[in-house]
Amino acid sequence: MPGKDIAIDLGTSSIKIYFDGKGIILNEPSVAAVNTDSGEVIAMGGDAYKMIGRTSDRISIRNPLTGGVISDFDLASYIIGVYMKKIKESKVVMPRAVVSIPCQITEVGKRAFVDTISSAGVRKICLIEEPVAAALGAGVDISAPHGTLVVDVGGGTTDMAVLSLSGIAISRSVKTAGNTFDESIIKYVRRKYNLIIGRRMAETAKIAVGCVYPREELATFRVKGRNAMTGLPQWADISSDEILEAIIEDTMHIIHVIQEMLEKTPPELVGDIYGDGLILTGGSAQIYGLDKLVSKKVKMPVHTAENPQDCVVLGAGKAIRFIDDIENKAYGVVNPLSAAY
């Protein structure tokens, strides 16, 4: 039944659900607050996110996904189950779903995604690789025999791929992404100021003044935490240049992987890419100067997609129309979905 299918982007930092015909209807942080005594989930999504770093011993904040893969199957199934109940219009129609997955995931990892979603009452699951979904979401015509390079910088992983004819010619996936930047900021502030800050504070600082290319005007942000020596509350004003210093090594790691992948890309596709440029998607693509730095290092134009944080789920939503084609392989139709369960 058209209009009942959904697309799910199960990300390390957020869970997004797209409803066919309506657009994105759910966008929540992928965290849950769990009672350590009973194992009961007491809050999830935005409510649980507000509790990060502010819980008692009896409550722990857990992420069901780590580095782009499901690390806590039961918790992931529970969260998806609750969200699916929220959005189901009728109890009778079980939707079909397009689910985005990292591009270099193992069969075991794929199975975990499929089992998690199917336990929430989805009758058919089609998988789409994140770079393919991101390109579709960024408005690229991926069905043409033309090379396109997409780099999706998310929370847990950075997925990149050269696409042509709705498929991946070559891809790479690295566990260096938004969360790695946060950890590097925490380490930097501790090393330089003897100040222990939490993950949320690091993330807020990154969003406020973070950059990977020097800003024209220096910006500062006040981070609050506790002194590592005395244990007393303390704050420090950190500048955008200091955050640049903290996360530049991680950013260069991503760039080296892009360069290495381009070296192994077939020459015809490289020619297309150098003409069109590289497309950046994902929430962490919004860090100031990332497009400039990548452009300078790989020596080609770099375009950041519109609403980069939503490209994957929007692209997965656009791929819903290919669900029917996955069985009857029509001549001349190249399907961007990689597998159906």
pLDDT tens-digit readout, 119-175: 888 888 999 999 999 999 999 999 889 999 999 999 999 999 999 988 899 999 999
pLDDT tens-digit readout, 243-288: 999 999 999 999 999 999 999 999 999 999 998 999 999 999 999 9
CA dihedral sign of residues 134, 139, 142, 145 = negative
d(CA 168, CA 102): 12
d(CA 179, CA 157): 9
Q: What is the mean pLDDT of the chain?
A: 90
Rounded to an integer, the average pLDDT of 216-223 is: 95
The domain defined by 178-246 folds into Actin; Chain A, domain 4 (3.90.640)
List Cα–Cα distances, 132 to 24, 320, 337, in angstroms: 18, 13, 9
User: What CATH number belongs to 141-176+252-308?
Assistant: 3.30.420.40
d(CA 320, CA 137): 12
| Closest to 64 measured CA to CA, from 118, 14, 121, 130 | 14
pLDDT tens-digit readout, 278-332: 999 999 999 999 999 999 999 999 999 999 999 999 999 999 888 877 666 655 5
The domain defined by 6-135+314-340 folds into Nucleotidyltransferase; domain 5 (3.30.420)
Percent of the chain with pLDDT over 90: 70
73 pairs with which residues across the strands?
A: none
Q: What is the CA radius of gyration of the chain?
A: 21
Q: Coil, strand, or helix at residue 22?
A: coil
Q: Which two tokens stand for residue 306?
A: 């519109």
Domains 6-135+314-340 and 141-176+252-308 share a fold: yes
List Cα–Cα distances, 279 to 286, 309, 335, in angstroms: 12, 13, 21
pTM of the predicted structure, to 2 decimals: 0.91
In the prediction, which pLDDT does 1 show? 43
Q: Where would I find the H helices in 264-302?
A: 267-276, 290-298
Half-sphere exposure of 247 (CA within 13 A, CB side): 34
d(CA 183, CA 202): 8
d(CA 99, CA 190): 39
Tokens 């991926």 correspond to what residue? 142
CA dihedral sign of residues 269, 272, 278, 279 = negative
d(CA 160, CA 257): 9
Instruction: Locate the domains of the chain by residue range.
Output: 6-135+314-340, 141-176+252-308, 178-246
Per-residue pLDDT band at 67 (split at 50, 70, 90): confident
Q: How many CB atoms lie within 10 A of CB 157?
A: 29
| Paired sense of beta strands 65-66 and 32-35, if any | unpaired
